[in-house]
Amino acid sequence: MSYRVVHYINQFFAGIGGEEKADYAPETREGVVGPGMALNAALGNEAEIVGTVICGDTYFASDMAKTSAEVLELIRKFEPDAVLLGPAFNAGRYGSACGAMGDAISKELGIPVVSGMFPENPGVEMYRKSLYIIETADSARGMGKAVPAMAKLLLKLLKGEKVGLPAEEGYIERGLRINKFFETMASERCVDMFVKKLKGEPFETEYPMPVFDRVDPNPPIVDMANSTVALVTSGGICPKGNPDHIEASSASKYGEYSIEGFDDLTSADHCTAHGGYDATYADDDPDRVLPVDVMREMEKEGVFKKLHNKFYTTVGNGTAVASAKKFGAEIALKLKADGVDAVILTST
């Protein structure tokens, strides 16, 4: 028996285009497209990709619930036994779309589904409990390693075989707790690990702890009255019309805009690009997220010397941690070059 598999990819891997085609509406194609060729070969004679569903990243991110239902119906028409998603590597919107589809497929169709992502892709944290996600490199250069791992795991799921631990199968830990019985007590195993650690021998903990960034705060401003203060936001406030097309989710860029001459932001000149909250009140009065009006009042009162004539903005909704760090580092260098002493960072 050859299992029927459907493959989901974005507009880039379908060869349609890059960002200029990111609003591409969902469509289906018979057989394999792009990386589906390698995946189909890795499946061998046991399964076959019978159809491909394509959707632009921005189209998907603009209304994830609506698009998930739309794409699910396209997948359903192929009557698949399983679905492969991506791999998305470190592409945030693509990973979020793959994760959302994996969640929908698992709940609505109840069939095996596998994707592939870089660990820092926001789709991992959002959806790792919903599906198996093979760990990949941060870009398509890791395709050669990701494809066989995705195909191997999917075939195991299709055949009902036992899936091993993440380190054995290559998938990212899902955060699920499963009972496991040992021949020795926990205290004995703990002592054995401790002895190995003392001897410098390799050992593997049964409960790895998460690692969090620790950032020491900078010292406070000594002379606030003579300082220059800037506004930076992850709330997506931007000039009317979103001229740089900052994505509503999983942002790949940030914007740099002048507020020279602005004492107040209004719905006539600014809006929000953010897709992760109800934008009604932010669009009605952008100062609610980027408080230019209050900052101008404090500037006139002499609380600080000057409000920086530029603000920086992006969307935090689903944006990869690696991307956020990159944005922050670049923005910080620009602010320092402009002589800014302090930053007020606003969110939603």
Q: Is pLDDT larger for residue 10 or for residue 19?
A: 10
Same domain, 120 and 24: yes
Same domain, 94 and 21: yes
Alpha-carbon distance of 120 to 124, in angstroms, equals 7
pLDDT confidence tier of residue 309, bands split at 50, 70 and 90:
very high
User: How many Cβ atoms sit within 10 Å of the Cβ of residue 248?
Assistant: 23
How many CA atoms lie within 13 Å of 203's alpha carbon, on the beta-carbon side? 17
pLDDT at 265 over 80: yes
Is 202 a member of any domain? no
Alpha-carbon distance of 120 to 16, in angstroms, equals 26
pLDDT in tens, 277-291: 888 999 999 999 999
CATH label of the domain that carries residue 153: 3.40.50.2300
Same domain, 150 and 16: yes
User: How many Cβ atoms sit within 10 Å of the Cβ of residue 333?
Assistant: 10
What residues are paired with 312 via a beta bridge? 232, 256
Same domain, 162 and 265: no
Same domain, 249 and 326: yes
Is 313 a member of any domain? yes
Burial letters 86-123, b for 16+ CB under 10 A, else e: bbbbbbbbbbbbbbbbbbbbbeebebbbbbbbbbbbbb
Alpha-carbon distance of 175 to 178, in angstroms, equals 10
State the pairing for strand pair 306-313/228-233. Answer: parallel
Looking at 36-40, 63-67, 147-151, 330-334, which range is the least confident one?
63-67
- The average pLDDT across 65-82 equals 96
pLDDT at 212 over 80: no
- The average pLDDT across 195-207 equals 91
Is 204 a member of any domain? no
Instruction: Kindly tell me the burial class for residue 323, based on how many C-beta atoms sit within 10 Å of its own C-beta (0-12, 13-18, 19 or more).
Output: buried
Residue count (the chain): 348
Same domain, 153 and 234: no
In 3D space, the residue among 156, 116, 130 whose CA is nearest the CA of residue 3 turns out to be 156
pLDDT at 62 over 90: no
Same domain, 159 and 30: yes
Same domain, 43 and 127: yes
Is 186 a member of any domain? no
Both structure tokens of 198:
């003392």
Give the number of domains in the chain: 2
Residue with tokens 């000039």: 239
Residue-averaged pLDDT of the chain: 93
Same domain, 58 and 123: yes
pLDDT at 322 over 80: no
Q: What is the pLDDT of residue 14?
A: 96
Q: What is the pLDDT of residue 131?
A: 96
Is 183 a member of any domain? no
Q: What is the pLDDT of residue 348?
A: 84
Q: What is the pLDDT of residue 215?
A: 84
pLDDT at 19 over 90: no
Q: What is the pLDDT of residue 1?
A: 61
CB 250 within 8 A of CB 96: yes
Same domain, 240 and 340: yes
Determine the structural domain holding residue 131 and report its residue range: 3-169
pLDDT confidence tier of residue 180, bands split at 50, 70 and 90:
confident
Same domain, 147 and 62: yes
* 171 DSSP 8-state letter: B
In 3D space, the residue among 271, 242, 268 whose CA is nearest the CA of residue 254 turns out to be 242
Q: What is the pLDDT of residue 248?
A: 86
Q: Is pLDDT larger for residue 138 or for residue 243?
A: 243
- The average pLDDT across 109-117 equals 97
Is 274 a member of any domain? yes
Q: What is the pLDDT of residue 287?
A: 97
Both structure tokens of 289:
């997220």
Give the H/E segment covering residue 4.
strand 3-10
Is 237 a member of any domain? yes
Which percentage of the chain shows pLDDT scores above 70? 100
CB 94 within 8 A of CB 55: no
Is 188 a member of any domain? no
Same domain, 23 and 149: yes
Q: What is the pLDDT of residue 210?
A: 73
pLDDT confidence tier of residue 292, bands split at 50, 70 and 90:
very high
pLDDT in tens, 219-262: 999 999 999 999 999 999 999 999 999 988 878 899 999 999 99
Nearest-5° Cα angle at 209, 206 to 211: 150
- The average pLDDT across 13-19 equals 92
Residue where a domain stops, chosen among 146, 169, 192? 169
